[in-house]
């Protein structure tokens, strides 16, 4: 039953963002930019494990990996405005993000940061 609740709450969040964005890009962006998925993940992890150290480690990992994920939001509009089609722009932005993740993980290992 707990799995079904997780699935429903998470799904409703995604649907809400897309429906609100149809009416207002700003409001959709505001809702999507809130760390709701992270908050839900913290709550679900804590309920499942009761382990605050796991929640703290997840939070730290999310912090470091949010930085390269921002590439998606920089590259995607640039490619779209350059006249690339939606799907190729999305693929390019996702590729840039994946490369950013690998570079960030490499850099964190070099700096001795454990996530």
pLDDT digits (tens, 9 = 90+) for 42-84: 999 999 999 999 999 999 999 999 999 999 999 999 999 999 9
Pairwise CA distance, residues 114 & 95, whole Å = 24
User: Residue 45 in contact with residue 55, Cβ under 8 Å?
Assistant: yes
User: For residue 108, what are its two tokens?
Assistant: 């964190």
Would you state the pLDDT for residue 37?
81
pLDDT band of 3, cuts 50, 70, 90: confident
Would you state the pLDDT for residue 114?
80
Would you state the pLDDT for residue 9?
84
Most confident of 25-29, 59-63, 93-97: 93-97
Closest C-alpha to 82, from 74, 18, 32, 101: 74
Mean pLDDT for all residues in the chain: 92
pLDDT band of 85, cuts 50, 70, 90: very high
Pairwise CA distance, residues 109 & 8, whole Å = 37
113 contact partners, CB below 8 Å, separation of at least 6: 64
H/E stretch holding 113 reads none
């Amino acid at each position: 039953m707990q799995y079904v609740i997780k699935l429903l709450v998470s799904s409703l969040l995604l649907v809400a963002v897309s429906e609100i964005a149809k009416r207002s890009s700003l409001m959709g962006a505001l809702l999507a930019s809130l760390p709701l998925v992270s908050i839900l993940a913290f709550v679900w992890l804590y309920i499942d494990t009761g382990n605050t150290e796991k929640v703290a480690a997840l939070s730290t990992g999310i912090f470091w990996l949010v930085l390269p994920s921002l590439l998606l939001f920089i590259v995607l509009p640039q490619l779209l405005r350059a006249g690339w089609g939606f799907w190729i722009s999305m693929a390019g932005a996702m590729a840039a993000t994946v490369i950013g993740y690998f570079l960030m993980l490499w850099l964190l290992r070099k700096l001795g940061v454990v996530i």
